[in-house]
């Protein structure tokens, strides 16, 4: 199937109201059309999906296999086993040592990159165009015939354990893990950190069992973006057609907590408090998702957003506050993140609540709404043009959520259709302060008193 995605970026409106006596910024020329590249989508007989999309000006090509072998496929007491499996894939194939693989990919101008997220394990590289077909062959060998050597397991477990220690010393990671644990209690992706004992217990047999259960053609989508020749598709068909089909499995359901909670994690001596506050919100497939995204961007998701203007540019409480909508499986949550000076922890949370209340109580003015919609339109262009991998991530996200590819064609018009009243309604419907999950990582001896008034749910 071929999808042609092409659209015109909506004319951006003029920005801010300016004071009398000042020069007005030039509006610029008429907008140029954004032609989204044509994707070529096909499946192999064994069920592996493939998407090819031409991109860019330089002779490079990104080739990434997205395998349904992410953290959500780990069992109980198997946190980060998917990472260990991913790392072991780098340790050579049945016919090549890991050093041979590393040198071969370096000769192609890339390196083998394998990363594991909640949703998937992604294996691939960004290589020179002249080596695209060769890399496809190597990638197939790595995925289909890995050595998974027992001899490397102890070293890789030590690496995981070191990484765990580092992440557990970072306030952002600590806060995120605690926040998700509270928001999605007892659900596979909410467990961010394994225990030391879990890591210590992993055996090569566990890795092989995980590999056998999850690495297979029907659980894999290969994405290619960049410059490539007509030989690439046949190379893919040849390299991957012998892979066993395996069995696809559904994404497990998620359910976000709706009970108000405040948890405080002590970090003695910390000069800042790290705040995560949020709740479950409409999933990507919901008709509310795009209006909610516009609302989020206006509230805390852009530099000009209200919470950033308030916490940073008015009060100087923090450097990089941001609110975002993030996915958990097929669900979504909203979170406001801020690292604030310890002494203003309470006031910062109060300001976030006040901005939420303000948006719930009155619709935003028209020029603020149009500015935010233009911003989102521009960001959409960037997401589709900034790099080969950004383009792949965009397509991968749409496919993972089961959205139709026409999502891209209609995105801009749907963003531009959102009204001020809808923005207010989204805030009223979903940003309910009395249902919020709040996590604060900071020096308890200095922030406890400031947090007294947030220990019980606020009224609405």
Question: Near other proteins by CB under 8 A, which window of 63-71, 196-204, 243-251, 372-380?
Answer: 372-380
CA distances from 13 to 130, 366, 389 (A): 43, 11, 30
Tell whether residue 242 is a contact of other proteins (CB under 8 A).
no
- The site that binds other proteins (CB under 8 A) totals a number of residues, namely 97
Question: Which helix (H) or strand (E) segment is 326 a member of?
Answer: strand 322-328
Rounded to whole angstroms, the Cα distance separating 214 from 211 reads 5
Contact (Cβ atoms closer than 8 angstroms) between residue 345 and residue 442: yes
The count of other CB atoms within 10 Å of the CB of residue 45 is 9
Query: Per rule CB under 8 A, is residue 266 in the interface with other proteins?
Result: no
Beta strand pairing status for 121-128 and 272-281? unpaired
Write out the binding residues for other proteins, residues 198-227 only, by CB under 8 A. Answer: none
Is 197 a binding residue for other proteins by CB under 8 A? The answer is no
Supply the minimum distance, in Å, between the C-beta of residue 252 and other proteins. 26
CB of 168 to other proteins, least distance (A): 7
Nearest to 137 by CA among 22, 237, 281: 237
Per the CB < 8 A criterion, the answer to whether 98 and 91 are in contact is yes
| Closest C-alpha among 274, 293, 268 to residue 282 | 293
Give me the least distance between CB of 256 and other proteins, in Å please.
Answer: 22
How far apart are the C-alpha atoms of 244 and 144, rounded to whole Å?
9
Q: Does 144 participate in binding other proteins (rule CB under 8 A)?
A: no
Q: How far is the CB of 297 from other proteins (least distance, A)?
A: 8
Write down the least CB distance from residue 222 to other proteins, Å.
21
CB closer to other proteins out of 171 and 201:
171
Q: What would the DSSP string read from start to end of 275-322?
A: EEEEEEE--TTSTTHHHHHHHHIIIIISTTSHHHIIIIIIT--BS--E
Give the footprint of other proteins on residues 268-307 (CB under 8 A). Answer: 268-272, 274, 301-305
**CB of 103 or CB of 259, closer to other proteins:** 103
Identify residues 337-356 at the interface with other proteins (CB under 8 A). Answer: 339-341
16 binds other proteins (CB under 8 A): yes
Q: Given the DSSP bridges, would you call strands 121-128 and 113-116 parallel, antiparallel or unpaired?
A: antiparallel
Distance of alpha carbon 122 from the chain centroid: 13
Comparing CB distances to other proteins, the nearer of 217 and 224 is 224
Nearest to 453 by CA among 369, 346, 357: 346
CB nearer to other proteins: pick between 72 and 273: 273
Residue 317 sits in the site that holds other proteins (CB under 8 A): yes
Region near other proteins per CB under 8 A, out of 69-77, 202-210, 312-320, 429-437: 312-320
- Residue with tokens 């709040």, as numbered in its chain: 438
Q: Does 379 bind other proteins (CB under 8 A)?
A: yes
Residue of 3, 255, 370, 424 that binds other proteins (CB under 8 A) = 370
Binders of other proteins in range 146-175 (CB under 8 A): 154-155, 158-159, 162-163, 165-166, 168-171
Residue with smaller CB distance to other proteins, 20 or 205 = 20
Task: Enumerate residues 320-339 that contact other proteins by CB under 8 A.
Answer: 320, 322, 324, 339
- Nearest Cα to 231, choosing from 223, 239, 222? 239
For other proteins, give the closer residue by CB, 98 or 254: 98
Instruction: Decide: 46 and 30 in contact? Cβ < 8 Å.
Output: no
Q: What is the residue-wise DSSP string for 347-378?
A: HHHHHHHHHHHHHHHSPPPHHHHHHHHHHHHH
Q: Which is nearer to other proteins, 248 or 417 (CB)?
A: 417
For the chain, what's the residue count?
460
Tell me the window of 109-117, 201-209, 255-263, 421-429 that interacts with other proteins (CB under 8 A): 109-117
Q: Which of residues 22-81 bind other proteins (CB under 8 A)?
A: 22-34, 56-60
Interface with other proteins (CB under 8 A), residue from 4, 103, 434, 453: 103
Torsion angles phi and psi, residue 83, rounded to 5: -65, -45
């Amino acid at each position: 199937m071929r999808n042609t995605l092409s659209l015109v970026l909506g004319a951006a409106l003029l920005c801010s109201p300016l004071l009398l006596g000042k020069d007005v910024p030039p509006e610029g020329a008429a907008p140029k059309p954004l032609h989204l590249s044509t994707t070529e989508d096909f499946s192999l007989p064994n069920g592996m999906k493939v998407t090819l999309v031409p991109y860019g000006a330089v002779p490079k090509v990104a080739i990434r296999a997205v395998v349904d072998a992410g953290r959500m496929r780990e069992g109980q007491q198997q946190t980060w086993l998917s990472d260990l499996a991913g790392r072991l894939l780098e340790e050579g194939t049945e016919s090549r040592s890991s050093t041979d693989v590393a040198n071969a990919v370096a000769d192609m101008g890339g390196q083998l990159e394998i990363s594991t997220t909640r949703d998937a394990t992604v294996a691939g590289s960004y290589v020179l165009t002249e080596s695209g077909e060769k890399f496809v062959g190597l990638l197939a060998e790595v995925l289909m015939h890995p050595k998974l050597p027992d001899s490397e397991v102890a070293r890789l477990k030590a690496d995981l354990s070191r990484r765990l220690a580092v992440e557990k010393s970072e306030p952002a990671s600590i806060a995120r893990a605690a926040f998700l644990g509270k928001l999605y209690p007892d659900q596979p992706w909410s467990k961010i950190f394994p225990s030391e004992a879990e890591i210590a217990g992993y055996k090569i047999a566990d890795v092989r069992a995980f590999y056998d259960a999850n690495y297979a053609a029907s659980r894999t989508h290969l994405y290619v973006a960049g410059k490539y020749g007509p030989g690439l598709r046949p190379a893919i068909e040849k390299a991957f057609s012998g892979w066993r089909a395996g069995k696809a499995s559904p994404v497990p359901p998620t359910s976000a907590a709706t009970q108000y909670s405040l948890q405080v994690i002590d970090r003695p001596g910390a000069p800042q408090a790290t705040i995560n506050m949020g709740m479950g919100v409409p999933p990507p497939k919901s008709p509310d998702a795009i209006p909610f995204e516009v609302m989020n961007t206006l509230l805390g998701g852009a530099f000009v957003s209200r919470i950033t203007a308030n916490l940073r540019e008015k009060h100087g409480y923090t450097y990089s506050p941001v609110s975002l909508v993030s996915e958990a499986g097929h669900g979504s949550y909203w979170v406001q993140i801020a690292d604030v000076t310890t002494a203003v922890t309470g006031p910062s949370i109060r300001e976030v609540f006040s901005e939420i209340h303000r948006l719930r109580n009155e619709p935003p003015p028209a020029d603020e709404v149009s500015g935010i919609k233009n911003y989102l339109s521009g960001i959409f262009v960037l997401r589709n043009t900034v790099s080969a991998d950004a383009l792949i991530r965009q397509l991968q996200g749409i496919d993972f959520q089961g959205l139709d590819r026409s999502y891209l064609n209609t995105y801009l018009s749907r963003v531009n259709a959102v009204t001020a009243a809808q923005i207010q309604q989204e805030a009223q419907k979903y940003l309910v302060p009395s249902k919020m999950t709040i996590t604060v990582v900071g020096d308890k001896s200095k922030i406890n008193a400031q947090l007294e008034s947030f220990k019980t749910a606020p009224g609405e």
